[in-house]
């Protein structure tokens, strides 16, 4: 039995992804910020799927030491699961967790919190888990169509999210551009290993992340929320990328509603892709040693 990791697995889409992967027979690790909140979700999914190999391990993507500790714990779990004639590995990694902060918050690592949770944390986690993967492993990163309005200005991106004053939507968009470029770059670096990396846009999904914490939220809920996707609908394309046989071997793509979206050559040869990789490596290097 091989392993799967879902970050933010106790949220709306994360729960649906965890359910689908558990039903497919994987040993699923729910990587969650609040283990107390996640454990009842885990218990419910065990009962519903009949898969008892679902567990919760805490992770704080806004704390790079926590990301390293999580990866070390996963390595121990996979090693402990090995038996004579059986060498389990990490087959599926779903970088699902995300945030859109309502104000500027600096992490212990000196990063803007949205940037850490949506990009730097998943980057480090993925880098740390690569030694546990094998040919056929799949990595899926949760992106968004708002990558198209993202801009990367260094070092402002890491420290403040953007140039100028705090504004949550542009900063969120910048993180989604970063995770999209990371997806493309990493996919090419891993092509010879047979590990695939794809990004998925779930569309506008009825989750807490779309709340603006503003006076108009009740009106938005009444008028807008019934028209958008349910968590299951939002998670569907990611689930297909994780599990479908016909998706095996497909890599470096941006997906929406189970289709490859042509995002244009400018993103596959983005002028800041190399600097993004280099600067991110510099930030996470102490945690890779």
Contact 160, 254 (CB under 8 A): no
CB 104, CB 161: distance < 8 Å: yes
CA atoms within 13 A on the CB side of 243: 17
CA distances to 14, 125, 232 from 238, rounded to whole Å, are 10, 18, 10
Closest by CA to 100, choosing from 35, 158, 42, 168, is: 168
**Which residue is it, tokens 């040993």?**
27
| Annotation says 123 is catalytic | no
Considering the candidates 119, 123, 147, 172, report the single residue annotated as catalytic.
Answer: 172
Distance in angstroms (rounded) separating the CA atoms of residues 139 and 280: 19
Distance CA(38)–CA(25), nearest Å, equals: 20
Catalytic residue numbers read: 172
């Amino acid at each position: 039995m091989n392993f799967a990791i879902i970050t933010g697995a106790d949220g709306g889409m994360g729960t649906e992804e965890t359910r689908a992967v558990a039903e497919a027979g994987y040993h699923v690790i729910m990587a969650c910020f609040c283990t107390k909140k996640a454990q009842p979700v885990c218990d419910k999914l065990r009962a519903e799927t009949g898969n008892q190999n679902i567990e919760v391990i805490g992770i704080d993507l806004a704390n790079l030491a926590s990301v390293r500790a999580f990866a070390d714990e996963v390595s121990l779990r996979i090693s402990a699961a090995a038996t004579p004639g059986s060498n389990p590995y990490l087959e599926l990694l779903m970088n699902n967790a995300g945030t859109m902060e309502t104000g500027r918050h600096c992490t212990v690592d000196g990063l803007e919190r949205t940037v850490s949770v949506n990009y730097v944390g998943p980057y480090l986690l993925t880098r740390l888990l690569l030694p546990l993967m094998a040919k056929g492993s799949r990595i899926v990163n949760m992106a968004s169509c708002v990558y198209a309005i993202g801009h990367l200005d260094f070092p402002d991106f890491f420290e403040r999210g953007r140039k100028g004053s705090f504004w949550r939507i542009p900063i969120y968009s910048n993180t989604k551009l970063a995770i999209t470029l990371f997806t493309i770059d990493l996919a090419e670096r891993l092509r010879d290993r047979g590990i695939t990396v794809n990004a998925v846009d779930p569309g506008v999904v009825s989750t807490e992340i779309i709340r603006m914490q503003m006076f108009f939220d009740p009106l938005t809920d009444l008028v807008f929320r019934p028209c958008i996707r349910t968590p299951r609908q939002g998670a569907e394309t990611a689930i297909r990328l994780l599990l479908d046989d016909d998706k095996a071997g497909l890599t470096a793509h941006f997906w929406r509603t189970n289709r490859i979206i042509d995002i244009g050559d400018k993103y596959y040869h983005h002028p800041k892709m190399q600097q993004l990789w280099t600067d991110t490596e510099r930030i996470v290097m102490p945690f890779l040693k």
